[in-house]
Amino acid sequence: MAEITFDDYPFLAELGIEKSSLGCFHGSWVAGGSEIPCICPHTGKIISYVKQATAEDLEVCLSKAEEAKNVWMMTPTPVRGEIIRQIGDALRAKKESLGKLVSLVMGKILSEGLGEIQEFIDICDYALGLSRQLEGKILPSERAKHVLMEVWNPLGVIGVISAFNFPAAVYGWNLAIALVCGNCVVWKGASSTSLISIAVTKVISEVFAKNGYPEGIITMVVGPGGSVGEALMSDNRIRLLSFTGSTSIGRHVSQVVHNRFGRTILELGGNNAAIVMDDADIEIALRSCVFAAVGTAGQRCTSLRRLLIHESLYESFKERLIAAYSTVRIGDPLDPINLMGPLHTQAAVKEFTDGIETIKAQGGTIVRGGCVVERPGFYVEPTIVEINHNAPIVREELFVPILYLIKFKTLDEAIAINNEVPQGLASGLFTMNMRNMWQWLGPKGSDCGLVNVNMATSGAEIGGAFGGEKETGEGRESGSDSWKQYMRRSTCAINFSTTLALAQGVQFNIS
């Protein structure tokens, strides 16, 4: 297979990327496994090779994390916040190069690649603020001269398994919050985006080394799921495992981790819907839905899959949607004029073509797109399909840019269609009617974890908790009180009286 020319991408050298890299970091770079290529989805050419970690390499990471946690958890929380501030600044200094690397390796357009690194920077700022605010409640006691209070302590060592579509930001969410809570972090990124794992780890590890902290606070492995991944799931030292990926693999992760009474955060399938009511602001709805469906070539967990359009404006909105799709420039994700890059792998192209055939077999009609683009790399056309919401394929998530159009009559009908799929991540309603909005947000509204109004499904901010319901998984990442998942809570009762009083008025007198 052909290889790219490094001279064409000077940011690779700036980030320390070489033609051959080692895929394990625990204070030094090692790896004892086989070598894999990292392929550019724009050209199909090899960028470089990465030597994978082994289960033995992972064991060193875990051992060093166990040692380092005794230092890091006893570091004052505001001091931990200062280290995270420095990590954010280090990422800022290399934002341009890191964003370009995300585009080159993953395939998302440059503004999205830069946005992903900005999201990592933002969560560092957020965690810095948390370092002065992590709190526990003081509660009223029914007993005289007693205090009830909550104390939060670190879990110890956290594992993160992240996916190819957000190869930096999802790690950032977990890393920043886990670090400020006093935990060490072992990271296994997707093998196909291993160059991003390596580059980000180099930036962050330099901050810890400069400040004299021990090896093991952050470690990283690139390795196969069958050995390294399973070992990470099974190890009792990993108190919490955050996993981003498919529902099928997430179910296995949940079984393995919970079997040993570990904790999980699972970010799995989306299959998201947006509803366009008859009173919607059409301009906002159109722009929002095109971005949500086409952005990242449909490879976001929050990508729009099902667009529900009120019958009174169905035909006119469909025509405008088709026209808008025709303006989406497809090509080199590093070229700022393009709005959609390639799919990530050749396997994704097959998922696209197989999906189109299944859609046709189940009565769907292709109204725009539906073809592979004949050019180097892994390119397909953004596609619009008309199909019945009861078609079995609609209940599945195709991780490609295929958008289903579905007509409805009433808001109740649209909410039922939104809720009828097994997944429950993101949803959106376009309306100017506050009664519609409050129905959508209430107990008989959307059953998803992200419920938007006059926005489609993509574009979550770090200040709010991110995650879903049903087969999307469990747990929340990023903002709000997500930090509580990374800590253990103790309820403490303190008696400062001169007598022993029992709760609920119980009497137990001994002579």
Active site residues: 267
What contacts 255, CB < 8 A, 6 or more positions away? none
Please report, for the chain, how many H helices and E strands are present, in that order.
Answer: 14, 25
**Start-to-end Cα distance in the chain:** 87
**Assigned token pair, 415:** 């909410």
Residue pair 162/120 in contact by the 8 Å Cβ criterion:
no
The span from the CA of 409 to the CA of 370, in Å, is 28
The span from the CA of 261 to the CA of 220, in Å, is 24
The span from the CA of 418 to the CA of 448, in Å, is 9
CA nearest 289: which of 114, 452, 472? 452
The span from the CA of 373 to the CA of 381, in Å, is 6
Task: Give Dmax (Cα) for the chain.
Answer: 91
| CA distances from residue 178 to 49, 127, 168, 460, 493 in whole angstroms, order as listed | 30, 9, 15, 20, 27
Q: What are phi and psi of 142, to 5 degrees?
A: -80, -10
DSSP string, 7-68: GG-THHHHTT--SEEE-EESSSEE--S-EEEEE-TTT--EEEEEEPP-HHHHHHHHHHHHHH
The span from the CA of 299 to the CA of 221, in Å, is 24
